[in-house]
Structure 1
Amino acid sequence: MATRDLERWMWAEACALLDQADRLQQQFFDPPDARATRRAWRPPVDVYQAGRELVIVAALPGVTAERLEVGIDGAMLVIAGERRLPPGLRSHNVQRLEIPRGRFERRLRLPPGHYQIGQHELSHGCLVLVLHRVESLTGEST
């Protein structure tokens, strides 16, 4: 491969990687919704379903229960709060920050039906929520 072609190829690869990094940053630091005025990061989640039960696992390293809000808004599960820098590290010089901090909000559209939050716990840096689909007011299963 000619030197000139190699330089073009390397430049194209570098630009593609920068574009990919920009897309990933936008994915994790989008405003939570159109009503929001502050930017927030969105924690990654896993969702599992078995019968009438949904289990949601959200990665929230370093988030305390006092800084966490969980609720159901219509057909949306809302997980919001704030991840702060640990107090013992505030006087340290930052060498690298890859774990998001600050305000976060994640909204997940729930499958059809009405849900109630059952169990919830912070464990090993993750929020584990168990939602139960409940019967509608007419007594029918939703």
Structure 2
Amino acid sequence: MTFREPGRTMWARALEMMERSDRLYRQFFHPGRRSEHGPTWEPPADVFETSRALKILVALPGVNPDEVEIVIDGGTLYVVGERPMPAPHGVAIRRLEIPYGRFERRIDLPPGHFDIGERTLDNGCLRLVLRKLA
């Protein structure tokens, strides 16, 4: 029989919910960071690990794959680019929910050395395979 401390479990869940809330907020709003050069939004990402690689999906619908920069610096993967805002003429914007402008996604990598292997954009998702190096 395992003993669990209800207070710790509740606290851990509360912290996890706060982190998720903070990430959602950062995805769409960067208070004080609306400069011309800084990122204005953060795309969502999923990271999966196998024994030989990390498989990463970054949601980037409407982004030209040639305009995405992918860099590993230290233990962090950077995915940087821009989704330009469509410029239709003679229309009034009634709703604007899709984030546009410069984006940057930082993903902390597990310990180890990685090499960017595959890189594809499929159905609006950037798919990366980071090979683990010995």
Q: Indicate the residue corresponding to 1:63 in structure 2.
A: 63
Q: Indicate the residue corresponding to 2:3 in structure 1.
A: none
- Runs of 4 or more above 2 Å deviation: 22-26, 37-40
Tell me which of 76, 88, 91 is aligned to 1:90: 88
| Cα pair distance change 1:56/1:98, threshold 3 Å | same
TM-score (norm 1): 0.68
Q: Indicate the residue corresponding to 1:80 in structure 2.
A: 80
Paired with 1:23 and 1:97, the residues of 2 have a C-alpha distance of 21
Unaligned runs of 5+ in 1: 1-21, 136-142
Correspondence 1:120 to 2:114: no
Unaligned runs of 5+ in 2: 1-20
Correspondence 1:99 to 2:93: no
Over the residues paired in the alignment, what is the CA RMSD in angstroms? 2.3
What does 1:124-139 correspond to in 2, within 5 Å?
124-135=123-134
- Does the residue aligned with 2:116 lie in a helix, a strand or coil? strand
Identity of aligned residues (%): 45
* Post-superposition offset of 1:30: 3.1
Higher relative contact order (CA 8 A, sep 6+): 2
Aligned length: 108
Letter in 1 for 2:100: R
* Residues 39 and 101 in structure 2, CA contact (< 8 A), matched pair in contact too: no
* Residues 82 and 103 in structure 2, CA contact (< 8 A), matched pair in contact too: yes
Paired with 1:119 and 1:108, the residues of 2 have a C-alpha distance of 17
* Post-superposition offset of 1:23: 5.9
